[in-house]
C-alpha cells in the first residue's frame, strides 16, 4: 500500500502529466507533451528524434491505458493512477518497468545525447510539463547535481526517480526531481 508521502508525490506527478489540466490523463495529454518537446527544441515532425519521442510517449500512454484505465473510458482518473502506481511500487516484478520508463524519459530529456541532463534540458522539462519557471528548475537542479559538474548522469537520474517512487523519507533528494510536490 502506498504511504501518505508516496500518495502526495504520485498525486503531484499525475498533475504533471495532465497537460490540459482537466483532471484526467488522456492520450491528448501525451500528444501535447510531445508537441511541446518539438516546439521547445525546434524538432521537425518528420525527424527521427520526433518519431522517437512520439513513439515513447505513445507507448507510455498505451501501457498506462491498458494497465490503469480500469473502466475502459480512455481516461485515467487520479484514483486509477494511484491504484496502478500502488501495483508498480509494491510489486518487485515491476522494478524493471518503471526503471525502463525512467530510462526512456532520460533519453528523451538528454536532447544533446551526451548521456546526462544539463540545466537547460532540465529547465525545458519544467517548461514542457508546466512544473515551474527556469529559476525553480535551476534551484532544484543544483540540489540534484551532487558533484556540482552541471550534469545529472543517467545513473543518478534513475536513483533520483527511485527515490521519488520508493522513498518514504521526506528529505530524499529524488522527491524534488519533478518540483516541489507540496
Q: Where are the domains of the chain?
A: 4-176
Q: For residue 150, what pLDDT band results from cuts at 50, 70 and 90?
A: very high
| Structure confidence at residue 95 (pLDDT) | 65
- pLDDT for 96 equals 67
Q: Which three cell numbers stand for residue 97?
A: 518497468
3-state secondary structure the chain: CCCHHHHHHHHHHHHHHCCCCCCCECHHHHHHHHHHHHHHHCCCCCCHHHHHHHHHHHHHHHHHHHHHCCCCCCCECHHHHHHHHHHHHHCHHHHHHHHHHHHHHHHHHCCCCCCEEEHHHHHHHHHHHCCCCHHHHHHHHHHHCCCCCCEEEHHHHHHHHHHHHHCCCCCCHHHHCCCCCC
Give this prediction's pTM. 0.90
Hey, what CATH class is 4-176 in? mainly alpha
Report percent pLDDT > 70 for the chain.
Answer: 99
> What value does the mean pLDDT take over residues 153-170?
92
pLDDT of 98 strictly over 80: no
Kindly report, residue by residue over 49-92, the tens digit of the pLDDT. 999 999 989 999 999 999 999 999 999 999 999 999 999 888 87
Q: Is the pLDDT of residue 169 over 90?
A: yes
Separation CA 7–CA 30 (nearest Å): 22
Amino acid at each position: 500500500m502506498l504511504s501518505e508521502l508516496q500518495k502526495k508525490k504520485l498525486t503531484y506527478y499525475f498533475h504533471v502529466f495532465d497537460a490540459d489540466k482537466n483532471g484526467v490523463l488522456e492520450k491528448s495529454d501525451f500528444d501535447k507533451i510531445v508537441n511541446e518537446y518539438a516546439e521547445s527544441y525546434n524538432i521537425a515532425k518528420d525527424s527521427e528524434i520526433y518519431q522517437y519521442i512520439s513513439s515513447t510517449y505513445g507507448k507510455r500512454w498505451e501501457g498506462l491505458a491498458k494497465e490503469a484505465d480500469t473502466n475502459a473510458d480512455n481516461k485515467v482518473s487520479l484514483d486509477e493512477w494511484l491504484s496502478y502506481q500502488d501495483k508498480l511500487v509494491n510489486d518487485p516484478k515491476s522494478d524493471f518497468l518503471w526503471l525502463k520508463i525512467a530510462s526512456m524519459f532520460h533519453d528523451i530529456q538528454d536532447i544533446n545525447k551526451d548521456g546526462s541532463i544539463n540545466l537547460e534540458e532540465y529547465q525545458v522539462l519544467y517548461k514542457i510539463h508546466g512544473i515551474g519557471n527556469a529559476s525553480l528548475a535551476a534551484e532544484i537542479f543544483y540540489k540534484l547535481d551532487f558533484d556540482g559538474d552541471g550534469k545529472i548522469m543517467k545513473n543518478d537520474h534513475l536513483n533520483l526517480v527511485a527515490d521519488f517512487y520508493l522513498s518514504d523519507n521526506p528529505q530524499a533528494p529524488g522527491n524534488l526531481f519533478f518540483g516541489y510536490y507540496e
